[in-house]
Amino acid sequence: MVVLAAVLLVSGCAPVATPDASSPPASPTASSASPTPTPTATPTASATPEPAATTEPAAAPAPTAAPQPPSTAGVDIDSAASLQVLVNKRRPLVPADYQPVLVPVSIAQDGDEAVRPEVDAALAQMSAAMQAEIGEGIHVFSSYRGYARQTQLYNGYVAQYGQAQADTTSARPGHSEHQTGLSVDVMGTGGACRLDVCFGGTAAGRWIAEHAWEHGFIVRYPDGLQGITGYRFEPWHVRFVGPEVATAMHEQGIATFEEYAGTGSAPDYG
Ligand SMILES: [Zn+2]
């Protein structure tokens, strides 16, 4: 029971950070899956380790010209390259090992964080706005994660706890929103409540909950809506969906991407 509780504490995207983060909150497990090897992952990022240096994030390679099949919300939620791709336990990324165009995160971050160019630009804007209003910017501690790394993390949890329990903790490869390059796990630069639900109650967490939509982000796994999203409350996990969608969701009072897109709930793998 104690172990179960500890594991549930770090739901959804937590496994991302937990095994390779330096300060795992309450995880007795941090060991199993070998820590940080990220070989196949972030080619773009590894080429330019220094965030601010070489390339200008916003001016990245001509992005993602993807087909735009219609969806109930009028946006392309199917194409891996789409900024509105919807990935959850019922909707895998296709292809599962999709490799997005990435740039290094240009705001405060742990080290090798990388996201899609559009996301970095919006993050920089959001961090500046938060800094101006509450005197604290945004720090990214988890971002893009490749298929190989997700597989390694997930398999580590399965080996340790069995699949049923692993599924409450870690996304299966191909099902993690972090593989899209559109999601980040954040905290304030003050560092309070890193990867902890208490982040929602901090000044930074409250500001993000209130203002993220103004910059094209949503808090992807809101409190109490696990039955729809498949994940417990993760106030630190924000997803870029673009200003139009984020604004529409805000104005219509829609809390989850699933409801906005009209795809139905994704409480589990079905
Ligand atoms: Zn996350």
Annotated active-site positions, please? 234
CA 84 to ligand 1 center in whole angstroms: 16
Nearest to 33 by CA among 160, 144, 131, 133: 160
Tell me the mean pLDDT per 10 residues along the chain, length 270.
Answer: 40 40 35 40 39 37 37 86 97 97 98 97 98 98 96 94 84 96 98 97 98 98 95 95 98 97 94
User: What pLDDT sits at residue 115?
Assistant: 98
Beta carbons of 83 and 239 less than 8 angstroms apart: no
CA 132 to ligand 1 center in whole angstroms: 25
CA 237 to ligand 1 center in whole angstroms: 4
CA 73 to ligand 1 center in whole angstroms: 24
CA 268 to ligand 1 center in whole angstroms: 17
For the chain, the structural domain boundaries read: 2-61+68-261
CATH class of residue range 2-61+68-261:
alpha beta
Beta carbons of 258 and 265 less than 8 angstroms apart: yes
DSSP per-residue codes, 98-154:
-----EE--SSBSSS-EE-HHHHHHHHHHHHHHHHHHS--EEEEE----HHHHHHHH
H helix runs in the chain, sequence order: 2-9, 14-20, 43-47, 117-134, 147-161, 163-166, 203-211, 226-229, 243-252, 257-261
User: What pLDDT sits at residue 170?
Assistant: 83
Give the list of residues 6+ apart from residue 270 with CB closer than 8 angstroms, or none.
Answer: 89, 90
Q: Number of H helices and number of E strands within the chain?
A: 10, 6
C-alpha distances (whole Å) from 191 to each of 54, 138, 186, 251, 259 are 27, 9, 9, 31, 32
CA 70 to ligand 1 center in whole angstroms: 27
User: What pLDDT sits at residue 180?
Assistant: 98
First to last CA, the chain: 25
What is the C-alpha separation between 252 and 160, in angstroms, rounded? 43
CA 143 to ligand 1 center in whole angstroms: 7
Give the list of residues 6+ apart from residue 265 with CB closer than 8 angstroms, or none.
Answer: 227, 228, 229, 258
User: What pLDDT sits at residue 29?
Assistant: 37
Tokens representing 31? Answer: 């060991």
The kind and range of the H/E element at 190 are: none
CB atoms within 5 A of ion ligand 1 belong to: 13, 185, 237
